[in-house]
Structure 1
Amino acid sequence: MRALRPFAGMGRLVPVRLRGWVRGSEIALVLLAAVTGCLGGLAVAGMSAAAQTLREILYRLPAGERLSSLARLPTDAVLGFPFLGPALGGLVLGVLILAIGHGRKRRAAIDPIEANALHGGRMSLRDSGEVAAQNIVSNGCGASVGLEAGYTQVAAGIASRLGSAFEMRRSDLRTLVGCGSAAAIAAAFGSPLTGAFYAYELVIGTYTIASLAPVVVAALCGSLVARALAPNPALIDVGALALGKGTALGAADTLPCLLLGLVCAGLAVALMRGVTWVEHGVRATRLPVPLRPALGGLCVGLLAWVTTPQVLSGGHGALHLHLAPETSLTVTALAGLIAAKAAASAVSIGSGFRGGLFFTSLFLGALVGRLFAQIAPLVWPDFADFGLAPIGYAVVGMSAFAAAIVGGPLTMTFLALEMTGSFPVTALVLAAVIASSLTVRKTFGYSFATWRFHLRGESIRSAHDIGWMRSLTVGRMMRRDIRPVSLDTPMATFLRAHPLGSPSRVVLVDQFGRYAGIVLVPEAHAHAAVIGLGEPAHLSDIARDTDAFLLADMSAKQAAEAFDGAESEALAVLDSAENRHVIGLLTESHTLKRYSDELDRQRRAMLGETA
């Protein structure tokens, strides 16, 4: 697998003393995180500029104009038919897919979450660059996908490459990949705290004192570099969060926010399942993979032509519009826009465009919040007595919907805080985010990223490092110095060759060298003493576990389950279930000890202990 291949020769490019200092010094890790943050900020600014340039060329936009902020699609687009823009981008994306996959077997690129969960932080920078290029084309042509997935992919890929060059330890490399992701999100939103907690919750999987300094430094550096290159206007004017009836927010305001969180959770699950349904539908057409984005792009373009350009691209311009106090839509218009944007996103991702639902979830959540603020008074007479204004509900809905899709409740809470600067509103956001996250976790069980892993057959629920568990296989733990005995060996001969005090377990094989069970030496001597050596006795009479065995590629967890099922303290290891040739022996006690040692090593790594 090319994505997991060690970066051969990279370590030789770095002096040995420098590598040793970086591996053994927390200060060096922080400095490397700062470099990662700066490079991540540059990557975000470059990708954003490239996608915006494509949109300006394809749709004849004025410099800096957002596609999703337009009232109607321009009629002077490059093709003369602006609804063909996403289809053209789909064709270009199909050509990229063909070019990337030409002459070599492809596998899905490893993203930061998967890299840290299964591969100890190792990613392919080449794969990451390819994903970023496809993401730029997808977003730049107007497909309803965000750039955040590409941002984190390329920034984390750079971090992994740097860490591999210094031959960093597994735990430090995972932290550095988290630093790259933190820098990318911080640069995308100008929000260092959001970037840091994105790394903790989604990429590293946990918060530790050891990872605090490098992750925060990377997020700050990424944000500063991106702001210097491409200043981002604030998404929300704090003054727009006026309180209803001039009253202060109170505990009672939590109730409608909790309800809004539940609504966002249900709609988010529907969106995630909708993407899967579209994928199944597109696959059922049997259209070649490179042509599927063009078909999806045509559908999205026609949808934007019939409804509004706000369904196109990530939705930054549209979000600005709907977080402005002067923007007002009817209930019908808001509901229609929510349905259209959700459909455009599902079709875009389901048909093969590269990107994610990060910003889409923010935009949809803001719309759901505003719709909630308009519908609630019609069914809840006391709703007008609550202190939060409609824009405030938009912020709450934005955070709750994104927490359900992305899977980072604290990430979205800090995003709301950094965007609004309002602690009272952030407290309400936290309540809604908790309700949304808990509901999705208990009813659906996945965020969008982990749902995609589940569909691919990977059992990843978070970024917690479970890769070491998979690498701790039976083949690594078993004893190989075993001498099987033929099942036809006379009992007397066996007892002379294996007196009491010799190794207590002997593996049996039949005349064809196939596994035939295990004999306990003390049990063989006891059996002979009972029946007498003059009586006919056979090893097959006392053979145990004839149908219970292990395979070399089993994990420690699978081995433990096999021991429990067989109720045996030791099992033979075979090359395959078909050949049944014995290659080793493994005991339950040794398995549990190795597993415990690995758990302790992981605990020490989490606490920053190197010894």
Structure 2
Amino acid sequence: MVIAVIVGAGAGGGAIVFRMCIKTFTHLLSGHDDYAAAGGSANPHVPWLGPFFVLIVPIIGGLLYGPLVNRFAKEARGHGVPEVMLAVAQKGSRISPKVAVVKTIASALTIGSGGSVGREGPIVQIGAALGSTLGRLVKLTEDRMKLVVACGAAGGIAATFNAPLAGVFFAMELILGTFSAEAFGATVLASVTASVIGRAKFGNAAFLTLPDFHVDHLVQYALFALLGVLAGALGVGFMRVLYAIEDLCDWAYRGPEWLRPAAGGLLLGLVLLALPEMYGVGYPVLQNATEGKYAIGFLLLLVVGKMIATSLTIGIGGSGGVFAPGLFIGACFGAAFGAVVHDVMPGSGGAVGAYALVGMGAVFSGSARAPITAVVILFELTGEYSIILPMMLAIVLATVVSKLMTGDTIYTLKLRRRGIDLGGPVAGAPIGGQLVSSVMEPLPAPLSASTPLADAADLLSLSDHGALPVHDERDGYRGVVTAQAAAEALAEQPDGAPATAGDLAQLPARITADQPLAAALHHLVSASGGVPVLDTETDQPVGWLSHQGALRALHPGTARVAAARTQPEPVSA
């Protein structure tokens, strides 16, 4: 609890420093507090250049942050969140403390010099680095290290968006990938602490001021559902454009890496000259879109422009997040969708801003596949409960569409392109790369689904695994019954207790003989006594995977001998 509070305070302070750096560099290089809202004005520092100064500032910024990142922390390049996910999943949650310093300066320079990226990715990486550093100083275990890194990420999101709940769910949904009471408690402490510190500096207002939204007609639910489907596909499209342009930049550039941001800065400058609304994060433009201040054609231009500008900023080696660009794209697309609906159905279409808000959450969830975070952060931004139902509908549909279109998210795809599978075996690890078939044991004799509960409990008490498969009268696989489940059932009142083993059987996660052991271990960790291994084609049990069997992968010869000597257990009468 104490460490969570300290990490939250550090993340809150880091968010303040980071935002002040962005403001300083933006004003220094553009002459405005936020040039995206300046409408292509000249830079007061060099008025004689007119709007053409945007051709130069990305080059200047690149010359400053390019060598810094290349020399001191190459992992500070890009959008940050994938690196934190990788550290938690496969690197013992170890993140170098210098990443916090380099990421702060590099991302602030990227955004201040016109880079069309967000500030949430950097602050997640900054907060996570602070948590990792503190965790190593006090010599925490690996499980606790994961928690403090998640606390840093939660605190960073909470402070930068003034959205403490969103910080909690972002950390659990994307960084930890799991939910537990302990993780929730720790991240809440960090998130609240960071929010208090952030609000002391920036006030209680959310980073966006959105109008009140209401759903006036039932027909709007169908329209929001359609928007969710389209926005989910758009989120996947944004992800593919991002990495396609990054590939194009990799193919085109042949010079030293430290010079790459400056060399590509001219291309980014041309985009900013044509569409100055792409300068920096662009929150004023996003807010104007939610208020219905732009025409449909211009909104669609902003959607395309943001995709290209963000992808180009990341592709040339810039440092910044993709969360805010996703919100921007979603707001503009949703506003365009709402404007079309308003023109076609003026009496029942509803406010344009409601579609912009829902579009924000749906595009983000379509690209990041984090529906809980999307719902919570938008609820915190508006405080308007009436929009929750259509928002949830659209975000869930966007998530489903995204899942059907691709197995990756905008974060995991970056890692997969580097040959890293967060759910797969780690290169060089003693176990994980083996197939399940090489370490599985013979299948214990199954229980009949009609076996009385008392008899099933006797057999489970004699089992080496504390769990047994259950088959029905036709020898069809019904699931697994565990000693824990049987003991809990026998402790119930007689009238409420299950009568047979079949009533207690539950289907565990599907593990097949041809799977890598690393993929099966994720499911085995939460299993009690082990899980059946299924045939790939028939889905019938052909073996048994236990924790002991997985450890035998360290000694393949021993594993084969142990498996050969293991005999099926006696079948009940």
Q: Partner of 2:243 in structure 1?
A: 276
Contact 1:182–1:218 (Cα < 8 Å) also in 2: yes
Instruction: After TM superposition, list the pairs within 5 Å mapping 1:192-203 onto structure 2.
Output: 192-203=164-175
Tell me how far 1:187 sits from its aligned partner: 0.5
Instruction: After TM superposition, list the pairs within 5 Å mapping 1:333-352 onto structure 2.
Output: 333-352=298-317
Separation in 2 of the partners of 1:47 and 1:302?
27
Change (3 A) 1:388 1:469: farther
Tell me how far 1:590 sits from its aligned partner: 6.1
Please, which moves more after superposition, 41-50 or 67-76? 67-76
Matched letter for residue 37 of structure 2: S
Q: Partner of 1:494 in structure 2?
A: none
Tell me how far 1:231 sits from its aligned partner: 2.8
Tell me how far 1:443 sits from its aligned partner: 0.7
Instruction: After TM superposition, list the pairs within 5 Å mapping 1:80-479 onto structure 2.
Output: 80=49, 81-83=52-54, 84-100=56-72, 111-231=83-203, 233-235=205-207, 237=209, 240-243=211-214, 249=216, 251-288=218-255, 289-307=257-275, 309-323=276-290, 325=291, 327-377=292-342, 381=344, 383-386=345-348, 388-460=350-422, 470=429, 472=431
Residue 60, structure 1, aligned to residue 31, structure 2? yes
Contact 1:556–1:591 (Cα < 8 Å) also in 2: no
Tell me how far 1:211 sits from its aligned partner: 1.5
Separation in 1 of the partners of 2:191 and 2:311?
30
- Of 40, 45, 48 in structure 1, the residue corresponding to residue 16 of structure 2 is 45
Separation in 2 of the partners of 1:446 and 1:393?
26
Change (3 A) 1:370 1:132: same
Contact 2:234–2:366 (Cα < 8 Å) also in 1: no
Question: Which runs of 5 or more residues in structure 2 are unaligned?
Answer: 439-515, 525-534, 537-541, 545-553, 565-573
Separation in 1 of the partners of 2:555 and 2:208?
65
Matched letter for residue 301 of structure 2: G
Residue 72, structure 1, aligned to residue 19, structure 2? no
TM (norm. structure 1) is 0.68
Tell me how far 1:50 sits from its aligned partner: 0.5
Contact 2:78–2:320 (Cα < 8 Å) also in 1: no
Change (3 A) 1:474 1:311: closer
Helix, strand or coil at the partner of 1:120: coil
Helix, strand or coil at the partner of 2:557: strand
Matched letter for residue 585 of structure 1: G
Helix, strand or coil at the partner of 1:111: helix
Change (3 A) 1:112 1:144: same
Q: Partner of 1:603 in structure 2?
A: none
Change (3 A) 1:388 1:207: farther
Contact 1:44–1:187 (Cα < 8 Å) also in 2: yes
Tell me how far 1:556 sits from its aligned partner: 6.2
Separation in 1 of the partners of 2:337 and 2:555?
65
Deviations 1:100-127 (A, max 9, x none): 379xxx9998722111221232222223
Rg (Cα) greater in structure: 1
Tell me how far 1:251 sits from its aligned partner: 4.6
Deviations 1:425-449 (A, max 9, x none): 0221111111111111121122211
Change (3 A) 1:556 1:408: closer
Tell me how far 1:184 sits from its aligned partner: 0.5
TM (norm. structure 2) is 0.72
Q: Partner of 2:3 in structure 1?
A: 32
Tell me how far 1:362 sits from its aligned partner: 0.8
User: Alignment length, in residue pairs?
Assistant: 455
Tell me how far 1:373 sits from its aligned partner: 0.8
Q: Partner of 1:489 in structure 2?
A: none
Question: Which runs of 5 or more residues in structure 1 are unaligned?
Answer: 1-29, 479-553, 570-581, 593-611
Separation in 2 of the partners of 1:206 and 1:53?
38
Contact 1:148–1:359 (Cα < 8 Å) also in 2: yes
Separation in 2 of the partners of 1:167 and 1:129?
22
Separation in 2 of the partners of 1:252 and 1:107?
42
Helix, strand or coil at the partner of 2:267: helix
Matched letter for residue 58 of structure 1: L
Change (3 A) 1:124 1:212: same
Change (3 A) 1:409 1:557: closer
RMSD over aligned Cα, in angstroms? 3.6
Contact 2:239–2:410 (Cα < 8 Å) also in 1: yes
Please, which moves more after superposition, 290-299 or 205-214? 290-299
Helix, strand or coil at the partner of 1:585: helix
Matched letter for residue 433 of structure 1: I
Instruction: After TM superposition, list the pairs within 5 Å mapping 1:509-548 onto structure 2.
Output: none
Matched letter for residue 56 of structure 1: H
Contact 1:69–1:321 (Cα < 8 Å) also in 2: no
Helix, strand or coil at the partner of 2:317: coil
Contact 2:330–2:364 (Cα < 8 Å) also in 1: yes
Contact 1:358–1:405 (Cα < 8 Å) also in 2: no
Contact 1:120–1:467 (Cα < 8 Å) also in 2: no
Tell me how far 1:317 sits from its aligned partner: 2.4
Matched letter for residue 17 of structure 2: G
Tell me how far 1:88 sits from its aligned partner: 1.3
Separation in 2 of the partners of 1:370 and 1:557?
41
Contact 2:323–2:364 (Cα < 8 Å) also in 1: yes
